[in-house]
Amino acid sequence: MGPKEPIARILSLNKSYRRGSQQIRVLEEISFEIAEGEFLALMGPSGSGKTTLLNLIAGIDRADSGAILVGGVDITSLSENELAGWRALNVGFIFQFYNLIPVLTAIENVELPLLLTGLSKKERMEHARAVLDLVGLSERIAHYPGQLSGGQQQRVAIARAVVTDPVILVADEPTGDLDRVSAQEVLSLMENLNRQLGKTIIMVTHDPRAAAKAHAVRTLEKGVLT
Amino acid sequence: MFAFKIILKNAFRHKTRTLLTIGSVVIALVAFGLLRTVVSAWYAGVAASSATRLVTRNSISLTFPLPLSYKDKIRQVKGVTDVSWGSWFGGIYINEKNFFANFAVEPRSYLKLYPEYIISPEQKSAFLSDRRGAVVGIKLAQRFGWKVGDLVTLKGTNYPVDLDFVIRAIYRGRDKSTDESQFFFHWDYLNESIKKAAPDRADEAGFFMESISGPLLAPSISSQIDAMFKNSLAETLTETEKSFQLSFISMTEALLMVIQLVSFVIIAIIMAVAANTMAMTVRERIGEYAILKTLGFGGPRIAGIILGESMVIVTAGCVLGIVLTYPAAHAFRAQLGAFFPVFNVSRRLFLFYAAASALVGLVAAVFPAWKAIKTPIAEGLRRLG
């Protein structure tokens, strides 16, 4: 499945942080589009602003100026509560360190985002089982994160990210904490999600092998897209 | 249901810390409960007092007696339906540690005035017909293992006489607030003994008790009685039984205020303990709250999870506190029952426990919840690594 119409438009995005009296510019006049069904890799050296850009697109950080349109909605104009609701419906997150809730089992972690939908308990469990099956963990649904390997935890995190059928998946160094075999499994899984289910994926990575799975690679240098 | 599961699992994630916090809440609530019960016990005499009973004493002080002859004049006041009298004997049973209230009364009129002392007709009759007879409250009898027919000697302190008694009756209180630890006996028996040992102190009463035909008459009857003895050698002060009891309490008012203040300081302390626990918890989990926010959980839901955890911990402490208050009060009563004859744990206290716990749970969660909500997601995620 090839790239289609733009699902996200980033227009003149600027972001800076204040450290003491110093203003540090992290992103400068970033503009680009992401097509629906695209698998985009964002690369660049540490401190180049990759994660900040990802966070802005995912609506978990605020830009100083510019606009981010996802599915036609300018998320920079949404209030905190509206943004939270928007994230619940439109974005799936995959983190480097999995970020599962340790007191919940695999299936409970996957069920978590579904609590914000109107689904019944039975429907939530059906959805959660289905995606855990999709990531090959149907035998591990009652395990706690501490009882799973890193690769398995990341697969649970991927299941949690896709269970609400979001518009885009954002992944921040999804293989950064995994051994080569587990990393390969996770990347294959993401590739399948993109190819078979048409999920738009934006992935921040340092790993050239991970970037090789993407349709397109954009590089950030000192906050500027090259 | 799912949210409650998260709250419960979170609450007992650090078992030692949670159990210590619950323990602090339990200790604080039980201490609060005992202190409040002490305050109530202090006012037990006031609670038990009747609006249709007056007490007349020497206007200088209760330690100064009144001539017995006053009783006939008081009886003539319109509205007075009955008069009794008595004297504080202050006798010691074996040694001073065995303190209890003991006084001489005119038995027939006294029992008529105090129908809240429930005595069987046989025992009442035996008491009235035996001049050396004494009536004791059931709690006092249990304390010393006394039975009807036992001989008891009290060494006089107010009077230079030691008196031997035969326990003829054991009374029970009609109400929960009735003091069941008193010892009273025939005033005539005391008077006769004094006539021999200290004749100049005979035929005197420590106080008179009057029943009146209606509570609204109390002010005018009190004034009339006191007016009758104005400018005499022993002027009187007549007041309602409630005022009489309150006059005792007013002597210890500062102490009572301190006890009340301490009881509320205890609540403030558990607020600080619970708030500290919740602050530590939220600081440790700020990353997890960031994950929940990333998934779309808004501020109210995050606050609900934190408030729920705080409430679970405090409610566990509250329930245990309620359960343990009874044995604690029992132990307290066993040790200090002589000073607090009416030491009943009020059920209303538990409503206070619930209200205090709800307040503590709420206050403890407010600042941590606010911090969890206000911490930017990106900053929270950075804490995770």
| Mean pLDDT, residues A178-205 taken together | 91
B248 lies in some domain: no
Kindly write down the DSSP assignment for every residue of A129-185, as one continuous string. Answer: HHHHHHTT-TT-TT--GGGS-HHHHHHHHHHHHHTT--SEEEEESTTTTS-HHHHHH
Total domains in the fold of chain A:
1
My answer on whether B25 and B76 are in the same domain is no
A9 lies in some domain: no
Question: What pLDDT digit, counting tens, does each position of B137-152 carry?
Answer: 999 999 999 999 999 9
Packing angle between helix B299-336 and helix B15-42, nearest 10 degrees?
50
Using the 3D structure, point to which of B184, B203, B234 is the last residue of a domain: B234
User: Is the pLDDT assigned to residue B33 strictly greater than 60?
Assistant: yes
A211 lies in some domain: yes
My answer on whether B93 and B215 are in the same domain is yes
The residues of A whose Cβ lies within 8 A of any Cβ of B are 52, 55, 58, 60-61, 80-81, 84-89, 93, 95-97, 99, 101, 103-104, 108, 111-113, 115-116, 121, 160
Q: How confident is the model at residue B41 (pLDDT cuts 50, 70, 90)?
A: confident
Task: Report how far residue B278's alpha carbon sits from residue A133's, in angstroms, rounded to the nearest whole number.
Answer: 37
Task: Report how far residue B144's alpha carbon sits from residue B137's, in angstroms, rounded to the nearest whole number.
Answer: 11
My answer on whether B266 and B188 are in the same domain is no
pTM value is 0.73
A54 lies in some domain: yes
User: Closest Cα of chain A to B14: distance in Å?
Assistant: 11
B54 lies in some domain: no
B334 lies in some domain: yes
Candidate from A99, A103, A116 with C-beta closest to B296: A116
Interface contact B9-A103, CB threshold 8 A:
yes
Task: Report how far residue A42's alpha carbon sits from residue A136's, in angstroms, rounded to the nearest whole number.
Answer: 27
A150 lies in some domain: yes
Give contacts of A93 with chain B, Cβ < 8 Å.
294-295
Cβ atoms of B53 and B213 within 8 Å: the answer is no
User: Is the pLDDT assigned to residue A140 strictly greater than 70?
Assistant: yes
My answer on whether B259 and B227 are in the same domain is no
B52 lies in some domain: no
H or E stretch including A19? strand A6-19
Q: How confident is the model at residue B385 (pLDDT cuts 50, 70, 90)?
A: low
Using the 3D structure, point to which of B203, B234, B265 is the last residue of a domain: B234
B288–A contact, CB cutoff 8 A = yes
Candidate from B296, B377, B385 with C-beta closest to A113: B296
Q: What is the mean pLDDT of chain B?
A: 91
Angle (CA) A192 A195 A200, round 5°: 100
B240 lies in some domain: no
B3–A contact, CB cutoff 8 A = yes
A71 lies in some domain: no
Total domains in the fold of chain B:
2
Task: Report how far residue A174's alpha carbon sits from residue A170's, in angstroms, rounded to the nearest whole number.
Answer: 9
CATH of the domain at A154: 3.40.50.300
Rg (CA), chain A: 17
Q: In this predicted structure, what is the pLDDT of residue A3?
A: 47
Task: Report how far residue B80's alpha carbon sits from residue B73's, in angstroms, rounded to the nearest whole number.
Answer: 11
B193 lies in some domain: yes
Q: How confident is the model at residue A4 (pLDDT cuts 50, 70, 90)?
A: low
Look up residue B246 and give its amino acid.
L
Give contacts of B3 with chain A, Cβ < 8 Å.
115
Structure tokens belonging to residue B78? 């319109």
Candidate from A84, A104, A108 with C-beta closest to B296: A84
Taking only residues 233 to 272 of chain B, the set having a beta carbon closer than 8 angstroms to any beta carbon of chain A reads none
User: Is the pLDDT assigned to residue B275 strictly greater than 80?
Assistant: yes
Candidate from B297, B378, B381 with C-beta closest to A84: B297
Question: What pLDDT digit, counting tens, does each position of B323-382 carry?
Answer: 999 999 888 887 776 677 777 888 888 999 999 999 999 999 999 999 999 999 988 988
Candidate from A81, A86, A101 with C-beta closest to B291: A101
Using the 3D structure, point to which of B234, B269, B297 is the last residue of a domain: B234
User: Closest Cα of chain B to A26: distance in Å?
Assistant: 14
The residues pairing with A33 across neighbouring beta strands, listed in sequence order, are A9
Determine which of B6, B289, B295 to mutate to test the interface with A (most A C-beta atoms within 10 Å). Answer: B295
Structure tokens belonging to residue A121? 């308990």
A55 lies in some domain: yes
B338 lies in some domain: yes
Task: Report how far residue B255's alpha carbon sits from residue A58's, in angstroms, rounded to the nearest whole number.
Answer: 63
Size of interface A-B (CB pairs under 8 A): 67
A151 lies in some domain: yes
The domain of B281 spans: 2-44+253-383
B290 lies in some domain: yes
User: Is the pLDDT assigned to residue B253 strictly greater than 90?
Assistant: no
Interface contact A61-B378, CB threshold 8 A:
yes
Look up residue B324 and give its amino acid.
L
Q: In this predicted structure, what is the pLDDT of residue B80?
A: 95
A72 lies in some domain: no
Q: In this predicted structure, what is the pLDDT of residue A1?
A: 47
Give contacts of A150 with chain B, Cβ < 8 Å.
none
ipTM for the whole complex: 0.91
Q: In this predicted structure, what is the pLDDT of residue B185?
A: 97
Structure tokens belonging to residue B273? 């303990």
The domain of A154 spans: 38-61+79-225
Question: What pLDDT digit, counting tens, does each position of B191-243 carry?
Answer: 999 999 989 999 999 999 999 998 899 999 999 999 999 999 899 999 998 88
Question: What pLDDT digit, counting tens, does each position of A61-81 carry?
Answer: 999 999 999 988 999 999 988
Give contacts of B299 with chain A, Cβ < 8 Å.
80-81, 84
| Mean pLDDT, residues A3-13 taken together | 84
| Mean pLDDT, residues B45-73 taken together | 88
My answer on whether B205 and B72 are in the same domain is yes
Interface contact A84-B384, CB threshold 8 A:
no
